[in-house]
């Protein structure tokens, strides 16, 4: 197991507590990546040092601890420039990575499907390309003057070209997969069954809730980003109505823009949703900050205008958390307190989901002659048939349908049926 130290810098009006929380989260990320955190350093500066990110004094302090801590890698809490990488690795003699690289590495470990692996590789290549340098940034320009020509530059340009070609190929493959996913989405939309997406900060309990609602048994882990590949299943309500639900990748502060771009086809599931369940770890001391991070990501991917229910999860971890169930007010309220692990508050959650998705639907009973069964099939297009009974020469249908759609459907009966 690699031994790592973590380093953060906060500037301006950023509070130390906020910086400490970010560094604590970085520690969780390092552990999730499979390394051991043996030291932590935090510095306040007026502005970031363009050469080393941290100040000379803090860098010397870290180097003085090198023998004692015996670390092999330094992980920085913010994105480093190519020059900062080179300067730090040359000065410290150990591997240097930043938060973005770390998150990309975790995603690479977690990806299982072909699509997930392609998306992660694309994000990594997009991150790497602008950081390909030889003898400094001048080698990024062809014919950049004295000392920039020769085989070193040719090799560098070859690497760039190879990476660009690979990026283009991955984008083509992902476009094909995206089209296929789009066809599946279109097929689902034609069925009129609404789509619900689970979203939230990583490790908020989305997959545990997904398993509970769908009676599935997908892998649940305490590690960050345990779900990368989207899962979509059907949830059946007690009254016969149903909806699709999709589990999605967890969000996090400073989510790399490369990942947002690479996972565009996956995040489209959320864009096409009728409702988003924003799952929140209510037991976390940082839950308010986490909510803000998720909302910022919603804006980035264009879903901030969607219907959202805030699902405050893990109340079983709070002293007297069971009492929070009393806060589950009217079904039209857009927040609910639950414990997916203990199955507390799930009925309240389902009531709220049903209200948002189906509040405009009414239950009708329609009677037909068995000879006119063809007309009955049209009801599947207009609404949700939940029960069909045949009594002698008559068929009685129980259907949930919007009132205005029922008015449109009535002329199609042409005297062949009646509403009971």
* Alpha-carbon gap, residue 147 to 151, rounded angstroms: 11
| Two domains, one topology: 3-107 and 193-358 | yes
pLDDT for res 141 = 40
Question: Mean pLDDT across the stretch 31-58?
Answer: 93
Choice between 185 and 245, residue whose per-residue pLDDT is larger: 245
Q: Kindly tell me if the per-residue pLDDT of 36 is higher than 80.
A: yes
Residue 224 sits at the vertex; the CA angle it makes with 218 and 228, to the nearest 5 degrees, is 55
State pLDDT tens for residues 253-292: 777 777 777 666 667 778 888 999 999 999 988 899 889 8
pLDDT of residue 398: 86
| Mean pLDDT of the 26-34 span | 90
Q: How far is Cα 247 from Cα 232, in angstroms, rounded to an integer?
A: 7
Question: What is the value of pTM for the model shown?
Answer: 0.77
Average pLDDT of span 172-177? 86
- Is pLDDT above 60 for 418? no
CATH code assigned to 193-358: 3.40.50.300
**How far is residue 60's CA from residue 225's CA, in Å, rounded to a whole number?**
34
**So what CATH class is 3-107?**
alpha beta
Supply the pLDDT for residue 142: 42
Q: Has residue 224 got a pLDDT over 90?
A: no
The winner for highest mean pLDDT among 12-26, 303-317, 364-378 is: 303-317
pLDDT at position 266, please? 63
Q: With cut-offs at 50, 70 and 90, classify the pLDDT of residue 110.
A: confident
CA atoms within 13 A on the CB side of 45: 15
Return the CATH class of domain 361-419.
alpha beta
Whether residue 150 has pLDDT greater than 60: no
315-340 core/surface letters (b: 16 or more CB in 10 A; e: else): bbeeeebeebeeebeeeeeeebbbbb
* Of 181 and 46, more confident: 46
Token pair, residue 269, equals 């599931």
Q: What is the pLDDT of residue 138?
A: 37
Residue 72 has pLDDT above 50, yes or no: yes
Q: Is the pLDDT of residue 136 over 50?
A: no
Q: Where are the domains of the chain?
A: 3-107, 112-175, 193-358, 361-419
Average pLDDT, the chain: 82
Tens-digit pLDDT profile for residues 311-330 = 999 999 999 889 999 888 78
Residue 143 is predicted with a pLDDT of 44
């Amino acid at each position: 197991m690699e031994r790592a130290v973590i380093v953060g810098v906060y500037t301006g009006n950023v509070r130390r507590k906020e910086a400490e929380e970010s560094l604590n989260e970085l520690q969780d990320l390092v552990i999730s990546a499979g390394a051991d955190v043996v030291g932590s350093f935090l510095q306040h500066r007026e502005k970031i040092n363009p050469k080393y990110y941290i100040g000379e004094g803090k860098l010397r302090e870290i180097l003085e601890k090198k023998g004692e801590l015996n670390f092999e890698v330094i992980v920085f809490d913010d994105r480093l420039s190519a020059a900062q990488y080179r300067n730090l690795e040359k000065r410290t003699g150990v591997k240097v990575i930043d938060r973005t690289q770390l998150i990309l590495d975790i995603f690479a470990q977690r990806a299982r499907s072909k699509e997930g692996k392609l998306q992660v590789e694309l994000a990594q290549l997009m991150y790497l390309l602008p950081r390909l340098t030889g003898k400094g940034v001048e080698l990024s320009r062809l014919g950049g003057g004295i000392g920039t020509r020769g085989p070193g530059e040719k090799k560098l340009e070859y690497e760039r070209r190879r990476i660009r070609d690979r990026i283009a190929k991955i984008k083509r493959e992902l476009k094909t997969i995206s089209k296929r996913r789009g066809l599946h989405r279109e097929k689902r939309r034609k069925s009129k069954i609404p789509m619900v997406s689970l979203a939230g900060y990583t490790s908020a309990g989305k997959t545990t809730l997904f398993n509970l609602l769908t009676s599935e048994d997908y892998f649940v882990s305490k590690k960050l980003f345990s779900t990368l590949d989207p899962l979509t299943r059907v949830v059946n309500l007690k009254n016969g109505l149903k909806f699709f639900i999709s589990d999605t990748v967890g969000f996090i502060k400073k989510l790399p823009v490369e990942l947002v771009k690479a996972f565009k086809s996956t995040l489209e599931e959320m864009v096409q949703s009728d409702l988003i369940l924003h799952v929140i770890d209510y037991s976390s001391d940082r839950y308010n900050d986490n909510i803000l991070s998720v909302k910022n990501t919603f804006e980035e991917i264009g879903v901030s205008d969607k219907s959202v229910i805030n699902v405050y999860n893990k109340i079983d971890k709070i002293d007297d958390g069971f009492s929070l169930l009393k806060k589950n007010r009217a079904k039209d309220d857009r927040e609910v307190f639950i414990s997916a692990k203990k199955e507390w508050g799930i009925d309240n959650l389902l009531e709220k989901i049903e209200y948002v998705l189906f509040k405009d639907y009414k239950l009708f009973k329609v009677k037909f002659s068995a000879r006119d069964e063809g007309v009955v099939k049209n009801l599947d297009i207009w609404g949700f048939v939940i029960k069909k009974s045949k009594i002698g020469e008559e068929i009685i249908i129980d259907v949930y349908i919007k009132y205005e759609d029922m008015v449109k459907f009535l002329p199609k009966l042409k005297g062949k049926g009646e509403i009971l």
